[in-house]
């Protein structure tokens, strides 16, 4: 629970007891040294309004005094990291109302307009969730404060290399190794994480996003222990977003398209490709390349003989009525089928032989995803 001082200052500065009309919504909020900037979506305005609330920053001496108080009383630091703002620190961190400033693009001729008030109350909620937001506003940060506290306490750098006494090398070589302990049985699935605190205000993460990342990391760890998958650490950002969407069982590709900045149809086809062929299948769906022509001609002849139709060749694709076969750079063939909503969608696993890919039954995971 944050100290009431900041809430009282917000109430005095805005002359209100809350953010006001639900027709106003705060978006794109950013806490930075000396400023809180956001946009306000107001139904009465043609476009979002820009709001800037300013605060004076503390000097180095003031920050050092706050750090000294935390060092002298460890309970203050413990309360901070658990999301509380002790009154002993709030008195120095919260600036008086006379030092606040505000600006809004609405152009209203009032001391504090309704949009500045909405911004101030939103900032109050952020500080309620993470009191270190106040340190940022006043010119410091959580990392700066924690580093200064460790330095004053004389704590060792947790990343520093440790050198233990050990034993003489000859004795170590002569010693009979003890048998390794039997590994613990693997869990059937990853467990649920404990309740997580709200992530720091400057982390860019929401509480649900942090919980989803923890769940995903635990599931990947279990898969690695069972030798049933990779770490996924070698994926690029777009591939990892698609992987997590597929793992979550997502069937609506609109949200995925927003996250990737893609068309909805492209996101749906990518999600279907991952479910069928993982990273290799996704890359076969996304990327074309100039494959050796003789390999494509041989595949086209084999397909024409099997289907009794003429197959066409282009880049790394052999195509015919109602199908495409694409050759990836690892010399595997993937079959694609037309979809009214998504275009060409991956319809088989990868095969060394194009005929095997052509005649393979569609995999059970080849879901057809609605673009909406």
Per-residue pLDDT of the chain (372 residues), as tens digits, is 445 788 899 999 988 887 776 567 888 889 999 999 999 988 888 888 999 999 999 998 999 998 898 888 888 888 888 888 888 888 889 999 999 999 999 888 888 999 999 999 999 988 888 888 999 999 988 888 888 888 888 765 444 444 455 667 767 777 777 777 777 776 667 776 666 677 777 777 777 777 788 888 888 887 787 777 677 778 888 888 888 888 877 777 788 888 888 888 898 899 999 999 989 999 999 899 999 999 999 999 998 888 888 889 999 999 888 899 999 999 999 999 999 888 899 999 999 999 999 888 887 654 444 333
What local confidence, expressed as pLDDT, does residue 321 receive? 85
What local confidence, expressed as pLDDT, does residue 166 receive? 64
User: Whole-model pTM?
Assistant: 0.49
How many whole angstroms separate alpha carbon 158 and alpha carbon 346?
Answer: 48
Strand ranges (DSSP E) for the chain?
24-32, 35-42, 49-54, 101-104, 312-314, 317-320, 323-327, 333-339, 343-346
How many whole angstroms separate alpha carbon 204 and alpha carbon 182?
Answer: 41
Backbone angles phi, psi at 194, to 5 degrees: -65, 170
Domains of the chain: which residue ranges? 4-153, 249-359
How many whole angstroms separate alpha carbon 168 and alpha carbon 173?
Answer: 9
In sequence order, which residues have a C-beta less than 8 Å from that of residue 59 and are 6 or more positions away? Answer: none
Please report, to the nearest 10 degrees, the dihedral formed by the alpha carbons of residues 299, 300, 303, 308 taken in order.
-160
What local confidence, expressed as pLDDT, does residue 170 receive? 67
In sequence order, which residues have a C-beta less than 8 Å from that of residue 148 and are 6 or more positions away? Answer: 63, 64, 67
Nearest alpha-carbon partner for 238 in 288, 289, 204, 282: 282
Q: How far is CA 209 from CA 84, 196, 201, 216, 218, in A?
A: 22, 11, 13, 11, 14
């Amino acid at each position: 629970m944050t100290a009431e001082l900041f809430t009282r200052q917000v109430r005095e500065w805005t002359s209100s007891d809350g953010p006001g009309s639900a027709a106003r919504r705060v978006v794109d909020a950013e806490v930075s040294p000396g400023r809180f900037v956001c946009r306000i979506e107001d139904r009465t305005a043609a476009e979002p309004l820009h709001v800037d609330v300013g605060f004076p920053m503390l000097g180095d001496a003031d920050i050092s005094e706050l750090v000294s108080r935390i060092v002298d009383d460890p309970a203050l630091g413990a309360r901070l990291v658990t999301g509380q703002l002790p009154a002993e620190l709030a008195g120095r961190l919260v600036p008086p109302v006379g030092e606040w400033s505000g600006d809004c693009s609405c152009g209203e001729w009032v001391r504090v307009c309704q949009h500045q008030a909405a911004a101030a109350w939103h900032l109050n909620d952020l500080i309620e969730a993470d009191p270190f937001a106040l340190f940022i506003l006043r010119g410091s940060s959580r990392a700066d404060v924690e580093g200064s506290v460790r330095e004053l306490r004389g704590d060792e750098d947790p990343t520093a290399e440790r050198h233990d006494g050990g034993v003489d090398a000859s004795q170590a070589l002569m010693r009979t190794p003890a048998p390794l302990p039997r590994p613990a049985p693997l869990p059937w699935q990853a467990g649920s994480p404990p309740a997580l605190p709200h992530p720091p205000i400057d982390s860019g993460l929401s509480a649900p996003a942090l919980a989803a990342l923890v769940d995903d990391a635990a599931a990947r760890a279990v898969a690695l222990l069972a030798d049933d998958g990779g770490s996924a650490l070698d994926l690029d950002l777009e591939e990892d977003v698609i992987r997590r969407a597929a793992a979550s069982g997502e069937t609506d590709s609109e949200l995925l398209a927003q996250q990737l900045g893609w068309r909805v149809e492209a996101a749906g086809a990518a999600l279907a490709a991952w479910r069928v062929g993982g990273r290799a299948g996704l890359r076969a769906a996304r990327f074309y390349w100039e494959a050796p022509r003789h390999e494509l001609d041989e595949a086209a002849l084999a397909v024409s003989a099997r289907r009794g139709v003429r197959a066409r060749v282009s880049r790394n694709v052999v195509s015919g009525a109602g199908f495409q076969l694409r050759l990836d750079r690892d010399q595997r063939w993937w079959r694609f089928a037309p979809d009214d909503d998504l275009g060409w969608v991956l319809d088989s696993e990868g095969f060394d032989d194009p005929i095997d890919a052509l005649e393979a039954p569609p995999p059970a995971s080849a879901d057809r995803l609605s673009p909406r």
